Amino acid sequence: MSAVLLLLFCLGGTRALDNGLALTPTMGWLHWQRFMCNTDCKSDPHNCISENLFMQMADVMVTEGWKEAGYEFVCIDDCWLDSSRDLKGRLQPHPTRFPSGIRKLADYVHSKGLKLGIYQDVGNQTCAGFPGSFGHYEQDAKTFAEWGVDLLKFDGCGFGTLDLLAEGYRNMSIALNKTGRSIVYSCEWPLYEFSLQKPNFTEIRKYCNHWRNYNDICDSWDSVKSIVDWSAGHQDVIVEAAGPGGWNDPDMLVIGNFGLSWDQQITHMALWAIMAAPLLMSNDLRMIDPRSKALLQNRDVIAINQDPMGVQGRQFFKVNNFELWERPLANASFAVAVFNRLEIGGPRVFKLPLYFIGDGTACIKGCGITQILPYRWDFGWQRSNHALEIKVNPTSTVLLKVTVHRELYPKLTFVHEDKHRNDIL
């Protein structure tokens, strides 16, 4: 066991929610960013929030290699509910959009070897105005467990007071535990706290498997940048909160939609891997550009995101519109991202001195460097007095894996051949 891992397990204060789940960041699909609150099944049956949408996503997750790549959860966001509870006070899905009910939908998703996520809110109403869970935490947790739900995204709209917010998130966590069913608990507790008081991440980690800290992501480069900048700006607080069982959630992946250039999609994927972020795609898997699909299914990037040591990476150097990010990985390896923030001109070269990596320790006895993004490239075994010339497009990122143990370096295996290299160059 490495020193870092040992430290993580020994710090009583960073103990994770004890449900045995999310030992690596959750992977799956979540409807919000791409499909929002589209309830108009009359004129837009293909894209409205209905059981068909989730069944179709489950189908393609299996047939198009998503499940095999590790994407496991099919998640419903807001707008699945009917406008009121039933006579016994139980939640009910919208009758015409989810005519078979959630239990049937869960059975269907489970029959594909996938898991089902659902959405509720700590307050009296969800963000879109549907019945919230306030006053019904135990009842709703029981309902979700009876339906066979595997993940709950619990929003914080209309939380009332900070005390009610905290009590609500804690009480729902306890209620989920009491059901006896394993349910990943995805919180937005710190997001609603941040503007009013400093969140207590020791406590949040005790009750939640992941937690949103900052604004919803949109399908734009400005949005991705603002999240990255927020994360870097708060890394001294949030990075140490992350670890197996509990993660900072910078929100969904919007790769494969409309708003990001190819280079920006690479940056999005690379930095979400470095940040140990849940990988919850919000896109249309039924119709997605093959290049975006290959990026989202890139086994080497996913392996960095899912690294078993579970240490979140951080920005460690900024110069001349370049940002360097680094994440320590198992087996004394590292992931390093070189991000070009300049939004004018052409590709620029960053000379990466190898003594930068791992606080100067990584390459002392030499190290193996493999470029993972934008395309696979072996730099070979390097000495620490060397500087690598890394060429990065505007708004793009070069993601490297640095292997310290020589015996592991030639054993790095790559599932995806470099077939996209030509369209990138």
Ligand X SMILES: *[C@@H]1O[C@H](CO)[C@@H](O)[C@H](O)[C@H]1NC(C)=O
At position 423, the amino acid (one-letter code) is D
Amino acid symbol at 23: L
Q: Which range binds ligand X by CB under 6 A, 62-70, 199-207, 316-324, 388-396? A: 199-207
Amino acid at 247: W
The smaller minimum CB distance to ligand X, of residues 286 and 405, is found at 405
Tell me which residues in 156-195 interact with ligand X (CB under 6 A).
Answer: 158-160, 164, 167-168, 171, 177, 180, 182
Tokens encoding 91: 């939640």
Q: Which is closer to ligand X, CB of 277 or CB of 335?
A: 335
List the one residue from 124, 220, 321, 361 that touches ligand X (CB under 6 A): 124
Cα–Cα separations (whole angstroms), residue 80 to 47, 77, 295: 13, 7, 30
**Residues near ligand X (CB under 6 A), total:** 25
* Residue type, position 364, single letter: I
Q: Where are the alpha helices (DSSP H) in 3-136?
A: 3-10, 32-35, 51-63, 66-69, 101-111
Alpha helices in 199-298 (DSSP H): 201-207, 221-233, 235-238, 262-274, 290-296
- Cα-flanking dihedrals φ and ψ of residue 210, to 5°? -155, 160
Minimal distance, residue 388 CB to ligand X, in Å: 22
Which positions from 82 to 121 touch ligand X by CB under 6 A, shown as an x/- string? ----------------------------------------
Assess 19 for contact with ligand X (CB under 6 A): yes
Which region holds residue 42: left if phi is over 0, alpha if psi is between -120 and 50, else beta?
Answer: alpha
- Beta partners for residue 115, in sequence order: 73
Binding mask 203-232 for ligand X (x = CB under 6 A): x--x--------------------------
Q: Is 209 exposed, middle or buried (CB count within 10 Å of its CB: 0-12, 13-18, 19+)? A: buried
All residues at 6 or more sequence positions from 357 whose CB lies less than 8 Å from its CB, including other chains: 326, 334, 336, 363, 367, 402
> Is residue 202 near ligand X by the rule CB under 6 A?
yes
Residues 387-416 that bind ligand X (CB under 6 A): 408
Cα 224-230-233 angle, rounded to 5 deg = 140
Q: Which residue is nearest to ligand X (CB)?
A: 160
- In angstroms, rounded to a whole number, what is the distance separating the alpha carbons of residues 190 and 412? 38
Nearer Cβ to ligand X, position 93 or 132? Answer: 132
Cα distance between residue 283 and residue 262, in whole Å: 15
User: With respect to ligand X, which residue has the nearer C-beta, 178 or 286?
Assistant: 178
Catalytic residue among 77, 78, 121, 155: 155
Whether 284 sits among the annotated catalytic residues: the reply is no
Q: Which is nearer to ligand X, 159 or 350 (CB)?
A: 159
Q: Shortest gap between Cβ of 159 and ligand X (angstroms)?
A: 6
Choose which of 89, 99, 308, 353 interacts with ligand X (CB under 6 A): 308
Of 94 and 206, CB closest to ligand X: 206
**Which amino acid is it at 137?**
Y
When asked if residue 18 is in the footprint of ligand X (CB under 6 A), the reply is yes
155 labelled catalytic:
yes
Shortest separation between residue 376's beta carbon and ligand X, angstroms: 17
Give one word for 395, left, alpha or beta, with left for phi > 0 and alpha for psi -120 to 50: left
Instruction: Kindly tell me which of 123 and 250 has the beta carbon lying closer to ligand X.
Output: 123
Q: CB of 163: closest distance to ligand X in angstroms?
A: 8
- Active-site position among 107, 216, 229, 289: 216
Strand 210-212 with 184-187, pairing: parallel
CB of 76 to ligand X, least distance (A): 21
- Which residues does the annotation mark as catalytic? 155, 216
Binding residues for ligand X (CB under 6 A): 18-19, 123-124, 134, 137, 158-160, 164, 167-168, 171, 177, 180, 182, 200, 202-203, 206, 307-308, 330-331, 408
